[in-house]
Amino acid sequence: MSIFRAIFIASLIFLSFQDLSFAHTKSVSYSTWTIQEDQAILDFTVSSREVTKLKEYQLNYPDLEKSITSHLVKNITSEQILPSPSVNILNTEIGTTGISLKFDINRVDDFIIDMNVFFDQIPSHIHYAKISQIEYKKTIALNQNSHEIVILNNESEIIKPVSLDSFKQHLGLGFTHILEGIDHLLFLLALLILCNSLKSLIFAATGFTIGHSLTLALAASNMVIPQVNIIESLIGWTIVLASIESLNLPKNELKKIQWGISLIIIMSFIFSASNMINLSGGFVLGIGLLSLAILRLNEDVEQANKLRPMLAIIFGTIHGFGFANILNEISLDRTNFLVSLLGFNIGVEIGQILVLLIMWFVMSFLVKSIMAENMKKITEIVSSILCSIGLYWFLVRLLG
């Protein structure tokens, strides 16, 4: 496939996938339930962008706080009759809206809270709820099909969380995260197209696992604190590089891409040195040299196949920081840190293996039966689409 045809496809896809620019930071909200003897305090935070999608926002425009308050009061219900909560506005980061609701539970017995928040307007929405009560802490993920929280108000019934409970909770969170992380899934698809055998796929997936396990541990333990927008943009760039390699372009077209990247590096470095863009010169130089090295390696197919697990480790380290971002947002259980971290990582791995196996069997079936003759053209088109989406994510996340 001509590189110019790929660029043309990319240009069309740019216009089609604008709503997916923050796929990894998808529709998500967070809450902390602090349960005391006579009251339950709910601190709820969400991206202001998500609030604008609510029906309540159409009635209360442009008041974000009033819109989210109205939505929460109407959609947080319980079988127990609870008085109307008192409302306070939280000081949150720029781009987010936070509300604190205080419910008078007055020593009510155990009860179930139904948090049907955002799900009617945004079916794919995910809500992470952290429940804190005495020494009991638990984080659960709510979705359209399951959005109930059990509140234990009887101290004698509260069981302190053990390591196994924390492991199970974070195992589920990791599994859920990988299945709903569109950018991670698209990278796995690019990796699948790139590998021409199950053996090479296993080696590449193992390298990816080693890489993201390392940086997930470093970031979760706060030994390394990366910038979220940089990591999210680099995840998009890993999709670009993997999809370019899977296109199996001839050397002359790879040379054109290398020259183009070299020109972008030089311009970006000049703009960075003159403070025209808010990027460090080291970052620009680092990502540029890495990209050129990978593209140069692609000129030798045999050598690229041998070093693919090593490249997967490099890509995995970037995605590992992305996995760590979600742990920071949902507050990793520090009382069982290693167990929780292990559970989350294994959950990610189970989800990753499941996705790769499904993709592999589907692709094998297509190759052997339905699309055997046209499979090469189809994979080229898919790789071009992945490349365009990854490039779009890279630019929007980096500059947005």
- pLDDT score for 80: 74
Mean pLDDT of 181-209: 86
Does residue 68 carry a pLDDT above 50?
A: yes
pLDDT tens digit string along 77-118? Answer: 887 777 788 999 999 888 899 999 998 877 556 678 899 999
Closest to 189 measured CA to CA, from 356, 365, 40: 356
Residues 342 and 213: their CA atoms lie apart, in Å, by 9
Mean pLDDT of 264-277: 73
Model confidence at 14, pLDDT cuts 50, 70, 90, reads very low
- pLDDT score for 56: 94
Mean pLDDT of 165-174: 79
38 three-class SS: coil
pLDDT tens digit string along 327-353? Answer: 776 666 666 778 888 888 898 889 888
Structure token digits, residue 165: 């409970």
CA dihedral sign, ordered 250, 255, 260, 265: positive
- Sheet of 136-142, strand order: 86-90, 96-104, 39-47, 28-35, 126-133, 136-142
- Claim: this prediction has a pTM higher than 0.85: no
pLDDT tens digit string along 130-156? Answer: 888 766 677 777 888 888 887 765 554
Task: Confirm if 112 and 153 have CB atoms less than 8 A apart.
Answer: no
- Which residues does 343 contact at the CB level (< 8 Å), separation at least 6? 166, 167, 168, 169, 170, 171, 174
